[in-house]
Amino acid sequence: MLLPSLPSALAYGGDYNPEQWPESVWPEDARLMREAGVNLVSVGIFAWSRIQPTPKTWDFAWLDRVMDLLHAHGVRVCLATATASPPAWLARLHPDSLPVTADGVTLHIGSRQQFSPSSPDYRRHATALVRRLAKRYARHPALAAWHVGNEFACHMNECHGPHSTRAFRVWLKTKYKTLAALNAAWGTAFWSQLYGDWEEIHTPRRAPYASNPAQQLDFKRFTHEAFFDLYKLERTLLKAAAPDVPVTTNLMGFFKPLDYHAWAREMDFAAWDSYPDPALPDEGRHWAAVGHDLTRSLKPGLPFILMESATSAVNWRAFNRPKPAGLMRLQSLQAVARGADGVMFFQWRASLSGAEKFHSAMVAHVDPERSRIHSQVRALGAELRRLAPVVGSVVHARVAIVMDWAAWWALELEARPTKLDYMATLHAVHRAFYAQNHAVDFVHPEADLSRYVLVVAPVLYLLTPAGAANLSAFAQNGGTLVATYATGIVDADERVVPGGYPGLLRDTFGVWVEEWVPLDDRFANSFRLLGKGGAKLACREWSEFVHVEDAEVLATFTADLTAGGPALTRRRVGSGRALYLAAGLDVPGWDALASFLAAEAGVSPVLAVPTEVEVSERVSADGTRHLFVLNHRHKPVSVPLGARRGVDLLTGRPAARTLTLGPLGAAVVALPPAGQSDKKPGR
C-alpha cells in the first residue's frame, strides 16, 4: 500500500498553492475539492519564502490553518519540504549559493531552483527548514506523505561554481585516492592532460575542444550524487520525525541528469510528472506510456503515483494545444492501467499571477460550475472512486528493456563515432512492444531478470562485468536475450574493451564487430528476416561489420559497405538464446522485429485488439485481473473479450462479450483469477 492513510482509494488531486491566494478563497477550495472527489493535494512546494520570510522569522500559522482546513474536509496532504526554490535572502546573504553554468554564467534569482547543489549555505538553511516542518507536521492527521523538493535538477542540472568545483575534487579523491589512479582512469596521457595537483582539476567547464570523456562521465556521476545527497538529507530528517510516513519526490521519467534507479531505492514509492503534448496525439500517448512503464519499473511490484499532469494545455511549449474532451480522462486511466495508484495534476487552482498563470488547472480562471475543465475533473473523480478495487494491484511484464543511466551518459558524450540518441532508441524499441500490447518493464543491467522471458538491451554502450555476467546468465537460464549495435563498447571508465565489440558479451553472442558504418539519407541499407515471406527491414542510423564466430545468421545486409554481412544473428546459450542486431531500425522495422522476437520468446499480449486500442492488465493479490481497454481513436471501436466474463468497474455492470468503446472511450473489466472458470459474475 502506497499511502497507509488512503488504504482503499486511488489518490486524486493536485498541487495546491494556497499561499498564492487570499485566505477567503481557501474554504471554497476545500469544498470544491470534496465535491470533486479530491482526496490528496501536494502543499507548500514553492512556499519557502512564505514560511521563512527572513532568515530569522518563521510563519507556520497559515500552513497550520491550511492543514486543518483540508483535514476537516477529508483531504489528505502530500506535504512538500518547500526546498525547491530558496528565498531571495539566501542569494543576498550567500551569492555563492547561486548555480554557475559551464560557461561561467551565474543563474540569478527571480525564477526558481536557483541554488548550487553543493552550496553549504543552501544545505544548512534547507536542513533548518525541513527540521522544523517535519517536527511541526509529523503527527498532523492530514499528513499522508512527504514530497521532497520538486523535480530535482529540472532546470538547473549541473553547477560549475566554486562549491561544486571543491566538492568535485573531494568526490574524486574519495573515488580514486591517488592522482596516479585518476590519471590512469581518465587516460590523461592523451593531449597532455596529466594532473600533478588536485587543485588543477576542475569541473568540465567550457574548453576549446572536446573535453576528456572520463572526466565528463565522472562529473555526471558527481552531479547526480550531489542532488541525490540533498534528497537523502531531507529524507533522513523526515524519517527521524515520522518513521511511518512515506517519503517521495516527483521524478520526470527519462530524465538524463539523475539516475532514478538509485533514487527509487531511497523512495517509499515512485512518482512522476507527465506532460504529453496534445498536439502530437500518437507520440503523446506513447510518451506517457513509456514514462509510466519506467516509473513503475523503478519499484518492482509496487504501484506509483502520477504526481503531476495537465487537465488541458500547458504554458511552456511554443505551441500549447488544449486537450479535446475525454483526453484528460483517457490519459488518467492510462496511468492507472500501467500501474498508477494515484492521478494528480499541476495544479488545483490556476494562478492569476506569475509565470504559470496560463497553465491549465483543475479549477480554471472561470466559475467552476460553468467550466468545461472542472466538469471533467468532477467526472474523473467519480470514476476513480469506482476503480478502488484496483488499488495495490500490479502489472506483470514478461518483456524487459535494459536501461542504464551510466550507459546513457556515456553514449551521448562528445566525440562519438556518430551521434546516437539513447532515449530515442529505447523509445523506439518500447513503442513496438507497446503497440502490440506487450507489458514491458525497464531494468538495470544488474537487476534480477528471472521474471522475464525476453530481455532487450538496446545501445548499452557502457557495460560493467557484473552487468555483462547478469545478461549472459539470463540467456544461460533459458531467456531470450537481444542486444543491439553499440553495446558493450566501453567499461565504467569510458575505456574501450579491446578485442572487438560487444566487448564482454562477445562470447555470449558469438560475434565480434570491428567497425561501424553509420547510415543517413545518403547511405541506405536493409535486411530481410529469415523464413518464407520474411519482412524486409529498412535500416536507420547504424550498421556494422560483424564477424561470426559461433552463431547462426538470421539476416544479412542487402547493400552498402556491409552488403552480404550478418545483420541479425542468434546463438544457443545454455537453455536460452542470444540474438545480436547489428543495425538501427525504423518504426515498421521495429514492429516486425518485435513480432519476431515475441514469437521467438513465446510471449503474447493479454488480449488481441484493433490498432490504437491499448490494453493493460493489473493483477490484485487475490488474483483478480483488471483489464484496462483504452480506445485512443476518435471514433468508436468494438473489442471482443472472447470467453472472458467480468464486471465493468466503471459502469458496475457485467461486461458485454464485445466491448463497444466510444471515441477516446475506456473500460476496466474485473476478471476472476486466471484458471478459474469464466462464469458469469454472481452465478
Q: Minimum CB separation from ligand GAL for residue 504, in Å?
A: 38
Q: Let me know the angle formed at the C-alpha of 631 by 442 and 378, rounded to the nearest 5 degrees.
A: 95
The string of DSSP letters for 609-657 reads --TTEEEEEEE-TT--EEEEEEE-SSS-EEEE-TT---EETTTTEEPPS
CB-hemisphere CA count at 13 Å for 496? Answer: 9
What would the grid cell of residue 356 be? 504559470
Contact 122, 97 (CB under 8 A): yes
Q: Which of 308, 494, 541, 617 is catalytic?
A: 308
Q: Is 260 in the site for ligand GAL (CB under 6 A)?
A: no
- 343 or 649, CB closer to ligand GAL? 343
- CA pair distance 304, 306, nearest whole angstrom: 7
Q: Which of 323, 359, 431, 444 binds ligand GAL (CB under 6 A)?
A: 359
Residue range at the interface with ligand GAL (CB under 6 A); choices 25-33, 148-156, 386-394, 443-451: 148-156
Residue 132 burial (CB count, 10 A) = 16
Q: Which of 231, 346, 409, 512 binds ligand GAL (CB under 6 A)?
A: 346
Q: What is the dihedral of CA 233, 234, 239, 242, to 10 degrees?
A: 160
Q: Minimum CB separation from ligand GAL for residue 250, in Å?
A: 6
Contact 639, 682 (CB under 8 A): no
Q: Is 19 in the site for ligand GAL (CB under 6 A)?
A: no
Strand order in the sheet with 584-585: 526-528, 536-540, 584-585
Total of residues contacting ligand GAL (CB under 6 A): 10
- CA pair distance 619, 575, nearest whole angstrom: 29
Q: Which of 151, 383, 494, 614 binds ligand GAL (CB under 6 A)?
A: 151
CA distances from 83 to 98, 129, 196 (A): 14, 8, 39
Q: Which of 79, 167, 247, 314 binds ligand GAL (CB under 6 A)?
A: 314
- 310 or 603, CB closer to ligand GAL? 310
CA distances from 163 to 229, 232, 507 (A): 15, 19, 46
Q: Minimum CB separation from ligand GAL for residue 355, in Å?
A: 8
Q: To which residue does cell 520526470 refer?
A: 252
- 314 or 582, CB closer to ligand GAL? 314
CA-based end-to-end distance of the chain: 31
Q: Minimum CB separation from ligand GAL for residue 174, in Å?
A: 32
Residue 534 DSSP code: P
SS3 labels along 256-318:
CCCCHHHHHHCCCCCEEECCCCCCCHHHHHHHHHHHHHHHHHHCCCCCEEEEECCCCCCCCCC
Coil/strand/helix, residue 358: coil
Residue range at the interface with ligand GAL (CB under 6 A); choices 121-129, 146-154, 492-500, 541-549: 146-154
Residue range at the interface with ligand GAL (CB under 6 A); choices 150-158, 219-227, 442-450, 662-670: 150-158
- CA pair distance 217, 204, nearest whole angstrom: 10
Q: Minimum CB separation from ligand GAL for residue 274, in Å?
A: 10
Q: Which of 146, 222, 275, 512 binds ligand GAL (CB under 6 A)?
A: 275
Write the interaction track for ligand GAL spanning residues 39-78; mark x where CB under 6 A is met and - where it is not.
----------------------------------------
- CA pair distance 618, 600, nearest whole angstrom: 25
Q: Which of 308, 441, 491, 617 binds ligand GAL (CB under 6 A)?
A: 308
Q: Is 412 in the site for ligand GAL (CB under 6 A)?
A: no
- 131 or 321, CB closer to ligand GAL? 321
CA distances from 503 to 14, 156, 214, 218, 420 (A): 47, 35, 18, 21, 19
- CA pair distance 619, 621, nearest whole angstrom: 7
Residue range at the interface with ligand GAL (CB under 6 A); choices 147-155, 333-341, 451-459, 613-621: 147-155
Q: Minimum CB separation from ligand GAL for residue 335, in Å?
A: 16
Q: Which of 151, 234, 544, 617 is catalytic?
A: 151
Q: Is 295 in the site for ligand GAL (CB under 6 A)?
A: no
Of the candidates 592, 588, 612, the residue with the CA atom closest to the CA atom of residue 600? 592
Q: Is 356 in the site for ligand GAL (CB under 6 A)?
A: yes
- 249 or 437, CB closer to ligand GAL? 249
Residue 27 burial (CB count, 10 A) = 12
151 catalytic per annotation = yes
- 106 or 351, CB closer to ligand GAL? 351
Q: Minimum CB separation from ligand GAL for residue 298, in Å?
A: 18
Burial class (CB in 10 A: 0-12, 13-18, 19+), 683: exposed
Q: Minimum CB separation from ligand GAL for residue 517, in Å?
A: 40
582-605 residues labelled b (16+ CB within 10 A) or e (exposed): bbbbeeebbbbbbebbbebbebee
- 21 or 176, CB closer to ligand GAL? 21
Q: Is 150 in the site for ligand GAL (CB under 6 A)?
A: yes
Q: Minimum CB separation from ligand GAL for residue 393, in Å?
A: 28
- 340 or 497, CB closer to ligand GAL? 340
Amino acid at 137: Y
- 306 or 314, CB closer to ligand GAL? 314
- 150 or 484, CB closer to ligand GAL? 150
308 catalytic per annotation = yes
Q: Is 273 in the site for ligand GAL (CB under 6 A)?
A: yes
Span 469-508, contacts to ligand GAL by CB under 6 A = none
Q: Which residues contact 280 (CB under 8 A, 6 or more apart)?
A: none
Catalytic residues: 151, 308
Give the footprint of ligand GAL on this chain (CB under 6 A). 150-151, 154, 273, 275, 308, 314, 346, 356, 359
